[in-house]
Amino acid sequence: MRTMPLEKREITSSRLALGCMGFGGNWDRSPISDEEILKTEKAIDAALSSGITMFDHADIYTLGKAEEAFGRVLTGNPSLRDQMVIQSKCGIRFADDTGPGRYDFSKEHILRSVDGILQRLTVDHLDILLLHRPDPLMEPEEVAEAFQQLKTSGKVLHFGVSNMNKAQIQFLEAYSDERLVVNQLEMSLNKLDFVDQGVHVNQQEGTSVNFADGLMEYCMMENIQIQAWSPLAQGIFSGNKSLELSDAETKTKELVEKMAADKRTTREAIVLGWLMRHPAKIQPVIGTSNVQRIIDAGDAVRQSEIMTREEWYALYAASRGNKLP
């Protein structure tokens, strides 16, 4: 059995991560309510009780309120920090009076962003900092300087990226002494291809991921942890009734429901277990503050271990209209 790349680096053994994008309330400048703090606290408790010790943030989530809500929970119970691996992301800037929406991997912005993240989370360091999507204007030497300064100061222990391809990772690492430990990508049962089907990959939007270019194998060889954002595909296979489904998605949903019933588990565990069954030891980031959904995801580790090759391919084929190349 393979071991998670992060576990090989003694960073975490949590097979799932909790995405904190929904914490803090609405995406506006309104104050965080006591109700939102309580919801955050309950989500954290549910995650830890389910064996999830890794928490994923970004400085933009609910305009910083997600990190602030999380930090207020930690302030009320500081001992929780020792049970957690906390990562956050920076590099996306929304439109403001100085410019349009943009990416910013400048040294100044990275350093300033980390200071803000630490203040909101009320922690003295991040376990992992990710660069949030590629920046076409990235100067790798400048990023390397920021990484070195953050590492030397003890503010960040490890570094990673999101939505980057193999060449972008190699380009960045060529100028830095820091080896990247994470690449976070949009991955789910209906957004993942392992063979070349002419799928065009949009790295900025994350609309499709095609690993025929060797990204998966490269990350595995370099011990870069592949994390999956939106791994439940907005819940289309696990109970979201608000979305209109294609014929393939409808049949896949039915198969997920049957497998969950046969195995006496949840639909979330089947969908996540499918991703985790891959030898890359993909780490899904479940983006929810719903306690029940966090609990429902808890059996995914076991399902990934018992899922047969035939069951994995049955789900893969169903999601593609029962056609494999």
Angle of helix 247-263 relative to helix 267-276, nearest 10 degrees, comes to: 100
Asked if the structure places residue 296 within a domain, the reply is yes
Between 17-26, 146-155, 162-171, 231-240, the lowest mean confidence (pLDDT) is in 231-240
pLDDT exceeds cutoff 80 at 310: yes
Asked if the structure places residue 47 within a domain, the reply is yes
User: How many Å separate Cα 307 from the centre of its chain?
Assistant: 22
Please report the sign of the dihedral spanned by the C-alpha atoms of residue 173, residue 176, residue 181, residue 183: negative
Position 207 scores a pLDDT of 39
Asked if the structure places residue 7 within a domain, the reply is no
Position 198 scores a pLDDT of 38
**% of the chain residues with pLDDT over 70:** 93
Say how far apart CA 226 and CA 64 lie, in whole Å: 25
How wide is the angle at C-alpha 206 spanned by C-alphas 201 and 212, nearest 5°? 35
Asked if the structure places residue 289 within a domain, the reply is yes
Amino acid, single-letter form, for residue 321: G
Residue 226: exposure state from Cβ atoms within 10 A (0-12, 13-18, ≥19) = buried
Do 300 and 269 contact (CB within 8 A), yes or no? yes
Asked if the structure places residue 208 within a domain, the reply is yes
DSSP-assigned beta bridge partners for residue 283: 227
pTM: 0.93
The parent domain of residue 267 ranges over 12-318
Strands (E), the chain: 17-19, 54-56, 85-90, 92-93, 102-103, 126-131, 156-162, 180-186, 225-229, 283-287
Do 116 and 58 contact (CB within 8 A), yes or no? no
Please compute, for residue 32, the number of CA atoms within 13 A of its CA located in the half-sphere on the CB side: 21
Residue 29, φ and ψ in degrees, nearest 5: -95, 15
Active site residues: 61
In total, how many domains does the chain have? 1
pLDDT tens for residues 213-251? 789 999 999 999 999 999 998 899 988 877 788 898 999
pLDDT exceeds cutoff 70 at 212: no
**Alpha-carbon separation of residue 83 from 47, 58, 144 (angstroms):** 11, 20, 29
**What is the CATH classification number for the domain harbouring 62?**
3.20.20.100
Asked if the structure places residue 5 within a domain, the reply is no
pLDDT tens for residues 46-57? 999 999 999 999
Asked if the structure places residue 92 within a domain, the reply is yes
Instruction: Count CB atoms within 10 A of the CB of residue 201.
Output: 18
